[in-house]
Structure 1
Amino acid sequence: MLSGARIYLKAQYKYRALVKCLKIVFLFYTCRSCLWNIYIQGFFKINFTLEKIHWTQFMIAS
């Protein structure tokens, strides 16, 4: 009986550690994809702004 309880506790401990690990991995991946989206959006906004500036300079020059 005692060994059964010990095995159960060990299994529970391992399960908790696994869940914690999975949560960390999940959070890391969601954060990374979020940051990646923000980075891409920011990049396109900057590019678009530069394009507009370039175009207005071209219009003024001509």
Structure 2
Amino acid sequence: MKVAVDWERCEGHGLCAEQAPDVFSLDDEGELIYPLENAEIPDDQVASARSAVGSCPVAALRETL
């Protein structure tokens, strides 16, 4: 599983970081940090990453193949 981020839509609400703190985080300015962009989400983080995608209030995250 991979997650694509629409950087234009992301408003830094941080719900993704709450749902999947090992996948997403926010920097000191509230900007999303997503080090796994273009990489597979580790198997043990897939469930939390899916929760993060579903929790984004502006639909800035989407699951990709």
Q: TM-score, normalised by structure 2?
A: 0.23
Q: TM-score, normalised by structure 1?
A: 0.24
Structure in which a larger fraction of residues adopt strand: 2
From the CA coordinates, give the structure whose radius of gyration is larger: 1
Structure in which a larger fraction of residues adopt helix: 1
